[in-house]
Amino acid sequence: MNEEGFWDDTTKATDITTKVNNLKKEILKTSDVSAKIKSLDDLLTLLETEEDKDLEEEIIKSLEEIETELNDLEISVLLSGKYDDLNCYLEIHPGAGGTESCDWADMLLRMYTRFCEKNNYNYEIIESQKGEEAGLKSVTVLIKGEYAYGYFKGESGVHRLVRISPFDSGARRHTSFASVTITPEFSKDVEVEINEKDLKIDVYRSSGKGGQGVNTTDSAVRITHLPTKTVVTCQNERSQIKNKEIAMNILKSKLYQIELNKQEAKLSEIKGVSTNIDFGSQIRSYVLEPYTMVKDSRTGFETSQADKVLDGDILDFMVAMLKRK
């Protein structure tokens, strides 16, 4: 940070500053809890020499505070993956089931955006496509904040909803599925070779919010990477050029992730472990009828407070997944 010209590249400088601030927070937390443990040790020594009810209560209170802080530090250690401190892209796609699944995708989007609002994460909807009757056919969200990818990475997979359908005149119980994909937002200077001949670029009229300028011009961009059949879209900017730039950054992150997954798959094959998450490998069930329960099939963590979970209280599920890994 002391180098001359550090702020010439503001994006890179901001990334480095964020990392420095995160490291300072970790050091401060560690130093603080270490000092409290030493102080507690001194108090315990003092208590051994004489009985003191007030001192005993002070020790118990201090011990509870230390336990809370140690739990926070444990999570910091669990968030030490190579890309955990990066921002991330969250994509939601409904499964088979038409309107039911599209509505479930919309419910998941609300759950994640409420989580962001409650936990100081900024989010930006890059692309969204409405369902024919209700809900969403697809949505891509950029989530920015401290250890965004670290927390959200465990959300990748298939999410299952069981409820009485609001779209069924017979009030029957329906099961809906939607897939969630989490991709780190790799820095723009990451080296990914993309051949222009491998790209199919389509422009079309935006269907999302953004005012008259967005909705009346062919500003939305869809890019298909033909060799991998990877599709990315962006429609939140008025400028087609800007939308293309954002879409290319998302594509670059996705292709980089694909290469990393290939390497991990090779390692897993050598180790004899499978880490693939395929559509149909349900990771979490949200049951609203005939009882209420949300259960993660990987960690076994569950709660009966389904309404709170759908209102964004999913941190316990994320932490349980971090501890499992």
How confident is the model at residue 219, as a pLDDT? 82
Write out the H or E segment, with its range, that includes residue 90: strand 88-94
One domain, residues 151 and 166: yes
How confident is the model at residue 264, as a pLDDT? 67
159: nearest Cα among 98, 123, 107, 115: 107
One domain, residues 151 and 282: yes
Residue 191 is assigned to a structural domain of this protein: no
What's 248's domain CATH number?
3.30.160.20
Residue 152 is assigned to a structural domain of this protein: yes
Residue 31 is assigned to a structural domain of this protein: yes
One domain, residues 146 and 113: yes
Radius of gyration of the chain (CA): 24
One domain, residues 95 and 176: yes
What's 298's domain CATH number?
3.30.70.1660
Residue 205 is assigned to a structural domain of this protein: yes
Contact 212, 238 (CB under 8 A): no
Q: How far apart are CA 12 and CA 22, in angstroms?
A: 16
One domain, residues 179 and 217: no
- Write out the residue range of the structural domain in which residue 304 sits: 88-186+275-324
- CA 211-312-174 angle, to 5 degrees, is 90
Residue whose tokens read 């090779």: 266
Final residue before a domain boundary, out of 51, 78, 105: 78
Number of domains in the chain: 3
Q: Are strands 282-287 and 230-234 parallel, antiparallel or unpaired?
A: unpaired
**CA dist 119 to 67, 106, 145, 210, Å?**
22, 20, 9, 26
Tally of CA atoms within 13 A in the half-sphere of 85 that contains its CB = 14
One domain, residues 109 and 220: no
Final residue before a domain boundary, out of 60, 78, 96: 78
One domain, residues 121 and 245: no
One domain, residues 169 and 115: yes
One domain, residues 167 and 309: yes
Residue 1 is assigned to a structural domain of this protein: no
How confident is the model at residue 272, as a pLDDT? 47
How confident is the model at residue 75, as a pLDDT? 87
Q: How far apart are CA 73 and CA 80, in angstroms?
A: 11
One domain, residues 159 and 33: no
pLDDT in tens, the chain (325 residues): 899 999 998 888 888 898 898 888 889 989 999 999 998 888 888 888 888 888 888 899 999 999 989 988 888 889 988 889 889 999 999 987 788 999 999 999 999 999 999 999 999 998 888 988 889 999 999 999 989 999 999 999 999 999 988 877 777 888 899 999 998 888 665 677 788 888 999 888 776 554 444 455 678 889 999 988 899 888 878 888 888 888 888 888 888 888 877 766 765 555 444 444 334 568 999 999 889 999 999 999 999 999 999 999 999 999 999 998 7
Residue 83 is assigned to a structural domain of this protein: no
**Number of residues assigned to the chain:** 325
Final residue before a domain boundary, out of 56, 78, 100: 78
Tally of CA atoms within 13 A in the half-sphere of 160 that contains its CB = 16
Residue 249 is assigned to a structural domain of this protein: yes
pTM for this one?
0.73
One domain, residues 292 and 180: yes
**CA dist 35 to 55, 57, 128, Å?**
18, 19, 49
Residue 114 is assigned to a structural domain of this protein: yes
One domain, residues 285 and 144: yes
